[in-house]
Homo-oligomer: A and B are copies of this chain.
Amino acid sequence: MSIAEPLPIRDLQACCAPLTREPIDSAHAESLAKSLKALADPARLRLLSMVAAHADGEACVCDLTDPLGLVQSTVSHHVKVLVDAGYLTVSKRGTWHYYRLVPGALDAVSSLLTTV
C-alpha cells in the first residue's frame, strides 16, 4: 500500500464513531466509502466468503477461478482490490500465493455502520 492510498479500514475504526453517532466529515466519508466500495461487488463478496471457508482459511487464485466462473486475470484483479483495501493478506510459497482474511477487518467496517 502506497502512502497515497486510503486508510485501511482498521485505522478508520480506531478514530471514528459509528456513522449515526455524529455527522461524519468529508475525509472520513471518503475513506469509509472506499472500504465499502471494495466490498460492494458480488464476485468479491463470494471470493471473501470462499477464502474464509477454504481449508486452513486460505486459498490461492487457482482455487477460486472455477467456483467464481471468472478468468484468472479477473480473479487476480479482485484479489488485489481486497488486499489493497486491507481485507486480505497474501503469503507466497513457491509459485503459489495464498490469500487469507485479515482478522477483524470485516468487524471493523461492520462496527462503523452499527447504530447501537
Contacts and interface: CB of A to CB of B under 8 A. Distances in A.
A90 interface: no
B40 A40 contact: yes
Copies of the protein in its oligomer? 2
Nearest to A54: B23
A50 B113 CA distance: 14
20 contacts: A19-B48, A19-B49, A19-B106, A20-B53, A22-B49, A23-B50, A29-B45, A30-B42, A33-B40, A33-B44, A33-B45, A36-B36, A36-B40, A39-B113, A104-B115, A106-B113, A106-B114, A106-B115, A107-B114, A109-B113
A66 interface: no
A26 B46 contact: yes
